Structure 1
Amino acid sequence: MNRTQWMEDLQKNISELFAKSPAADIERNVRSMVTQAFVRLDLVTREEFDVQADMLARARTKVDQLGEQLRQLQSRLDALESGKTTAE
């Protein structure tokens, strides 16, 4: 038996032993508990998060644009009112 075959056999035997041991049951139980905990946390997927982050960035850009328009309009209104006040 060559060294590679011996290593493969050892790995196979260890995998079989692990699969039959209580450790495999513990691993399955832990995975189940963690999965249930994540479900209860109501987490979002990365894709959902990225979509929401993109929407938020676009909304923020639009809010900034509208804020600038409001400042310009307010400036024009102030200029008209100050001209009206001095003309009266």
Structure 2
Amino acid sequence: MQKPSEILEQVQRIASDMQSKVSDVIRNSPAHEIEKNVRTMMNQGFQKMDLVTREEFELQNKVLAKTREKLEALEAKVAALEKTQ
């Protein structure tokens, strides 16, 4: 009778072998080429859409926040000046 640790090792070895074989099959199958072609087509489509990167978006978001702060400060100054007149 096998020990539980030996059974667990066998199951792990079988699972590892199966994972390796499935990876090999997928890597060598037409599905891999289809995925590559779909990615290429999507990238070309995204480039035509003139999208921005996350970094560019975040940078513009920060610039906008600073501009809003300055605008609010200027509005407060104008309001204070209008009250004194």
Name the larger-Rg structure: 1
How much is the aligned-residue C-alpha RMSD, in angstroms?
Answer: 1.7
TM-score (norm 1): 0.75
Moved segments of 4+, more than 4 Å: none
Instruction: Give the CA deviation at 1:56.
Output: 0.7
Out of 50, 65, 69, the position equivalent to 1:57 is 65
TM-score (norm 2): 0.77
| 1:1-88 pair list within 5 angstroms | 2-77=10-85
Instruction: Give the CA deviation at 1:59.
Output: 0.6
Q: Helix, strand or coil for the counterpart of 1:2?
A: helix
How many residues are matched? 77
Q: Helix, strand or coil for the counterpart of 2:38?
A: helix
Identity of aligned residues (%): 38
Whichever residue aligns with residue 11 of structure 2, its letter is: R
Unaligned runs of 5+ in 2: 1-8
Unaligned runs of 5+ in 1: 78-88
Instruction: Give the CA deviation at 1:2.
Output: 2.1
1:53-83 deviations in Å (ceiling 9; x for gaps): 1111111111111111112222223xxxxxx
